Amino acid sequence: MRVSIPLRPLSRPSTSVNALCKGSRPVVWTSRRRNYSTHPPNARLNIPTDYSTTPLLAHSSQTALANPELPPEARNGTAKRMNLFQAINDALSTALAEDENVLVFGEDVSFGGVFRCTMKLAERFGGARVFNTPLTEQGIMGFGIGLAAEGMRPIAEIQFADYVYPAFDQLVNEAAKYRYREGRTGRSAGGLTVRMPCGGVGHGALYHSQSPESLFTHIPGLRVIMPRSPLQAKGLLLSAIRSNDPCVFMEPKILYRAAVEQVPTSAYTLPLSKAEILKEGKDITIISYGQPLYTCNAAIQKAEEDLGISIELIDLRTIYPWDKECVFKSVRKTGRCMVVHEAMVNAGVGAEVAAAIQEDPDTFIRLEAPVSRMAGWSIFTPLMFEKFNIPDVARIYDGIKKLLEY
């Protein structure tokens, strides 16, 4: 964590936060390294991610525009450097411009949002379409469902994924079941997209760090999506907004400012329920999503260097309904696999992926080691111990070694 993020009690943007938003100031902030992000002097593995060199981000516009999933008009267009919050802002702005039924609301979205994702949207599209709600998550969700059920395309924001629980009834019993129980009327809450910042941020402790995605993946009717980068965030968010199923869009908040890459400027979507192979390999498959992909990538680099192996890295992107075929195909090839996520291991996404892998007869017989899960411990995220809880490079590296040694 190099930059300070405003946390929940913030009522006004501080001037420093404003200054940050105006341009490429993060440089100023890199010198203000916080104590918790330093690494021990002899560390070889647990070195903070250098987002400016990671191959998981498109550092040049050529790389960004060469993405084969982009439609031709995006590929022939231009690209612009954006961080994750700017890419989300870009997607929201595109959605608001292309469809008058799109509305953006939540706590504090009007002035730009506590993470700046809704900057200038109220000014551009008017207070009737981009607005603050009272501080009530169940109200935000219920309000959004009502809008969607009457044909609008609401984009609701829950300020932190940690605060989605008051809205759980509305998500589980209402948003998810709406189409099913309406039957022949054809009404649904499919127009609804719920955005929420999630994941560890270095100092978020119990209520600014959670990754509750597996609670949503247990709800039929919802699509659960988590992007890893600005380019992905824009394409997947536009897909979620245009999707006729209710979507939970989880944004790893540690990447809001940290992940910067070239993002195509025209409107484009990326497919839902389709995984992406980030790196091909033949000895081990690592499956993850969101921020841990960067950690996985760093561990893979070291392991390949040290052990002379090659590892395949898969980004699930949509966590439910997920792309089983892509994962099975890879594991059939490598015979060894690890699922990595921040949320606790118990009944997490890893449990579902591992179970599905061993249940698929063709994949099961190719397994040469038990499926491994590298995830948060079965605890909460304690302030001073976060670095021991969220899977880091050393733990993933060690997991790779254990998979090979089995």
Partner 1 sequence: MKARTLPRALLRRAVGSVPRGSTSPALQFPAIRLSSSISQRLGASHVSFPGAVNSAFTSDLKFVVPSDYPAVPTYRVVDQDGNVVDRSFKPDLSNEEVVKLYKTMLTVSIMDPVMFDAQRQGRISFYMVSAGEEAISVGSASALDQEDVVFCQYREQGIFAQRGFTLKNFMSQLFANKHDIGKGRNMPVHYGSKELNIHTISSTLATQIPHASGAAYALKMQHINDPSVPPRVVAVYFGEGAASEGDFHAALNIAATRSCPVIFICRNNGYSISTPTLEQYRGDGIASRGIGYGIDTVRVDGNDIWAVREVTKKAREMALEDGGKPVLIEAMSYRVSHHSTSDDSFAYRARVEVEDWKRRDNPIARLRKYMEANGFWDESKEKEARDSIKRDVLKAFSEAEREKKPPIRTMFEDVYEELTPDLKAQMQQLKDHLEKYPNEYDLGEYEDGINSLKS
β-strand 193-198 against 247-252: which pairing, if any? parallel
Q: Compose the 87-116 pattern: x for residues touching partner 1 by CB under 8 A, - for all others.
A: -------------xx-x------x------
- Measured CA to CA, the distance from residue 404 to residue 135 in angstroms comes to 50
Contact residue for partner 1 among 116, 179, 195, 253 (CB under 8 A): 179
- Measured CA to CA, the distance from residue 276 to residue 168 in angstroms comes to 29
Q: Which is nearer to partner 1, 167 or 396 (CB)?
A: 167
Query: Token match 């992107």: residue?
Result: 317
Tokens read off for 157 = 């924001």
Q: Which residues contact 388 (CB under 8 A, 6 or more apart)?
A: none
Contact residue for partner 1 among 59, 75, 129, 402 (CB under 8 A): 129
β-strand 311-315 against 276-279: which pairing, if any? antiparallel
Q: Which is nearer to partner 1, 174 or 315 (CB)?
A: 174
Q: Near partner 1 by CB under 8 A, which window of 36-44, 134-142, 230-238, 330-338?
A: 134-142
Number of H helices, E strands in the chain: 18, 14
Catalytic residue, from 107, 137, 276, 312: name it: 137
CA distances to 18, 162, 361 from 90, in Å: 18, 25, 44
Catalytic residue, from 157, 203, 208, 341: name it: 208
The answer to the question of residue 270 lying near partner 1 (CB under 8 A) is no
> Catalytic: 137?
yes
Query: Do 358 and 324 contact (CB within 8 A), yes or no?
Result: no
The answer to the question of residue 186 lying near partner 1 (CB under 8 A) is yes
The answer to the question of residue 173 lying near partner 1 (CB under 8 A) is yes
The answer to the question of residue 147 lying near partner 1 (CB under 8 A) is yes
> Catalytic: 208?
yes
The answer to the question of residue 170 lying near partner 1 (CB under 8 A) is yes
Strand positions, DSSP E, 75-206: 79-83, 102-106, 130-132, 153-157, 193-198
In degrees rounded to 5, what are phi and psi of residue 177? -90, -5
Query: Token match 């609008």: residue?
Result: 152
Contact residue for partner 1 among 199, 202, 221, 348 (CB under 8 A): 221
Contact residue for partner 1 among 37, 73, 180, 385 (CB under 8 A): 180
Contact residue for partner 1 among 46, 54, 138, 310 (CB under 8 A): 138
> What one-character DSSP code corresponds to residue 315?
E
The answer to the question of residue 160 lying near partner 1 (CB under 8 A) is no
Q: Which is nearer to partner 1, 148 or 238 (CB)?
A: 148
Strand positions, DSSP E, 69-192: 79-83, 102-106, 130-132, 153-157
The DSSP annotation for 198-228 comes to: ES--SS-GGGSS--THHHHHTSTT-EEE--S
Q: Minimum distance from CB of 186 to partner 1 (Å)?
A: 7
Q: Which is nearer to partner 1, 103 or 263 (CB)?
A: 103
Count residues near partner 1 (CB under 8 A). 53
- Measured CA to CA, the distance from residue 233 to residue 199 in angstroms comes to 15
Q: Which is nearer to partner 1, 181 or 387 (CB)?
A: 181
Site residues for partner 1, 293-322, by CB under 8 A, read: 321
Q: Which residues bind partner 1 (CB under 8 A)?
A: 100-101, 103, 110, 127-129, 131, 133-134, 136, 138-152, 154, 166, 169-170, 173-174, 177, 179-188, 190, 220-221, 223, 244-245, 273, 321, 324-325
> What residues act catalytically?
137, 208
